[in-house]
Structure 1
Amino acid sequence: MRHDESLPPVPRRPLRLAAAALLCLGLAGCGGGEGPGPGLAGPGATGATTAPSSASPAASSPKPTPTRTASPSASASRTPDAPTGPLSGKTVVVDPGHNPTNHLHTAEINRQVDIGTGRKECDTTGTSTNGGYAEAEFTLDVAHRLRKLLRAQGAEVILTYDRDRPWGPCVDERARLGNREHADAVVSIHADGSAVGNRGFHVILPAAVRGGGADTSKIVEPSRDLGTRIAGLFVRSTGSSPSNYVGGKTGLDVRKDLGGLNLSTVPKVFIECGNMRDPKDAALLTSGGWRQKAAQGIADGISSYLKG
């Protein structure tokens, strides 16, 4: 879908809840984690018992730039100094959802972990397109593109993992990594596995949760600001519409069942970039050009939030 360059710049004040839908109206071509929300379907919906193929589409991902990887199974390496830019001094943690080889470690990823409001699987395999392009490959590709865009603006970018471990990290570990780095913003990248005809993206925001090890009271509002900006600028960059099946077409959804959000003490959101099981969305998700636009939209939203 076409990127409409005629849209005015997004103001730096917080965008409103329906910003994604409002921006969508101005586009000529405007038309899709830990687990899906109520009513969602697909192979990623019920834990990790299936093994989506990791076959990649024809478009190749860019060569990753040096960075830090904050992984509990490997010591983090220091990134070279980022270029000076508007995000200098800011730390962004990018969390590529799932892991391409989770399906080889079902016992490990099915282990239950505390998510504050209860217990849930350590991680899941994620979903895939009908053609076999795995969500975990998609999320890593977009994460690499996003990292490059943010580092060009001076931010220090840390990935929760980068093919440096055979499975995971678990959802509680992913949250702790952002907390440990005192991140200014954390974004977890995903793609959905819902029914055919369900299309578009949505950004998942943390609900007000207090229980067990979870207390989101200090991050609910800044996370909403971060997520609203990402939603609006994702529309502008990709031309994709907000989800037609989650979030009332605002592009925003609030959930309290995701450990990655519940256990975060820093502003954090998830983005489901599209529905891998819908052929039209899958055609976008498997396009290298579209994935670059997706990374740009996420980067623009993060940058808008961090600049205030």
Structure 2
Amino acid sequence: MSYAGPEFDPRPSPPSRRGRRALLAALVVALAAAGVVVQRAVSGDGDGAGSRAASSASPDSSAASGSSPGAPAKSPSVSGTSSPSAASTAKPPARSGPLKGKVVVIDPGHNTGNAAHTTEINRAVRIGNGAKECDTTGTATDAGYAEARFTLDVSRRLRTLLEQQGATVRLTQDGDRPWGPCIDERARIGNEAEADAVVSVHADGSAAGDRGFHVILPGPVTGGGADTRGIVEPSRELGERIAGNFVRATGSAPSDYVGDGTGLVTREDLGGLNLSKVPKVFIECGNMRNSKDAALLTSGAWRQKAAQGISGGIVGFLRG
């Protein structure tokens, strides 16, 4: 598929004096309106995706609200981690916008507290065509920035962007539980919400020489409580839109180690996809073990671009 970005006229005509006055007036009105908007502060499906290596670093939940007591403080080398958001149980305000009436579930991969709850996360759960561990710790950069911190930060940013479009957004976890949830519960949250789209946010832990992002699509899985036949095609459309928008928003290239340069991979071994009844994809935003990717993943400015890319794909999918 093509990842060509939108075309822009590099030489726009300068506005007339009257046009400049009109633009200035419009800007003042927009700024005044923005002054009354209160934005929520923003900054996993536990399936181990890609070549993920479990992190041995201690969980760092300073980027998450409601983190477990005694969690280590945030590393100062990681920029742009937002302040904690409102409790996930709070009743969402009425919203308007092009996505009004649409429900999106965002699944921040893993949990910063998983490493302290190995017994709980190691128990097996059924995923339709087999069994997998309830959740995993996820991976981390060589400097110790945990995947779980990254996924929660991007998910909070993504929530804000989608809510600004009028969507009702739910996170499977918002730093408000000590571990998990398990991969089957993550899928169930999207199903019970009757979500119009679900995206599980991750970062990979592949070999140091591997680079780039990829979107994981569900394959056809039936039996054992799983039946993805009805979501394979819409999930592919969702994944294609996210991949294209992710390239344009972040400038990142599709993975050079899976997906044959398309940025798309189909898998049948992830419980979060196998057990979903609604359109769902995973996105591995980059490889935390690659130094160049890690420099992006640890940048708050880049994580905002990542959220914008994912949001753009979701909006395009939901608006048709």
Q: Give the TM-score taking structure 1 as reference length.
A: 0.83
SS at structure 1 position matched to 2:284: strand
Deviations 1:232-252 (A, max 9, x none): 000000000000001111000
Distance 1:52 1:200 in 2: 26
Q: Are residues 1:135 and 2:147 paired?
A: yes
Deviations 1:146-167 (A, max 9, x none): 0000000100010001111101
Partner of 1:43: 54
Contact 2:59 2:115 in 1 (8 A): no
SS at structure 2 position matched to 1:43: coil
Q: Are residues 1:79 and 2:99 paired?
A: no
Contact 1:97 1:139 in 2 (8 A): yes
Q: How many residues align?
A: 268
**Percent identity of paired positions between Structure 1 and Structure 2:** 64
Partner of 1:222: 234
Partner of 2:4: 23
Contact 1:204 1:255 in 2 (8 A): yes
Partner of 1:165: 177
Partner of 1:34: 47
Distance 2:58 2:92 in 1: 32
Distance 1:131 1:51 in 2: 9
SS at structure 1 position matched to 2:203: strand
SS at structure 1 position matched to 2:4: helix
Partner of 2:202: 190
Using the TM superposition, give the Cα deviation of residue 25 of structure 1 relative to its aligned residue in structure 2, in angstroms.
Answer: 12
Deviations 1:257-308 (A, max 9, x none): 0000000000000000000000000000000000000000000000000000
Aligned residue among 54, 79, 96 for 1:59: 79
Aligned residue among 83, 87, 105 for 1:93: 105
Instruction: Structure 2 unaligned segments of length 5 or more: list them.
Output: 8-45, 61-73
Contact 1:24 1:239 in 2 (8 A): no
Using the TM superposition, give the Cα deviation of residue 41 of structure 1 relative to its aligned residue in structure 2, in angstroms.
Answer: 5.2
Instruction: For CA contacts below 8 A with separation 6 or more, give which structure has more relative contact order.
Output: 1
Contact 1:189 1:271 in 2 (8 A): yes
Q: Are residues 1:241 and 2:259 paired?
A: no
What letter matches 1:268 in structure 2? K
Distance 1:284 1:34 in 2: 23
Contact 2:52 2:138 in 1 (8 A): no
Using the TM superposition, give the Cα deviation of residue 59 of structure 1 relative to its aligned residue in structure 2, in angstroms.
Answer: 1.6
Contact 1:24 1:241 in 2 (8 A): no
Q: Give the TM-score taking structure 2 as reference length.
A: 0.80
